[in-house]
Amino acid sequence: MTDKTALTPSTHTTPPAAFSHGVRKGNILQVAGQVGFLPAEDGKPPTPAGPTLREQTLQTLANVKAILEEGGAGWDDAMMIRVYLTDVDHFAEMNRIYDRYFEEQGLGAPPAARTTVYVGLPAGLLVEIDVLAVLG
């Protein structure tokens, strides 16, 4: 049986509950929902990258990428990306940011994706993203 490995990059805070930022088992890697917090600093609470959807989305994608890399994966290993927005009016802007980001990343075949509106994020957070990746 393949071991399950919890992933927490050095840029991330220790999760506040019994979960991992990412988990790898065999060639499967699941990245838990990430938000646009800046890299962790000792003694400081998590801080959003900024108030805008663009700032938070780009930081969220950087946070997801850090977990993928910690698990030996990259964006081309992503099979499914789920985006959760707190405002239906952010769909068009999110799509522009998303398309531009992955164009800059040189993503080969785009993964399956879905975007939905979710109002349960902490105050001030506008986006959450999780990813399922398959390596090799």
**pLDDT for 1:** 63
Q: In 10 A of CB 118, how many CB atoms?
A: 14
pTM of the model: 0.94
Phi-psi domain of 26 (left: phi exceeds 0; alpha: psi -120 through 50; beta: other): left
**pLDDT for 42:** 84
Residues of the chain with pLDDT under 70: 1
**pLDDT for 28:** 98
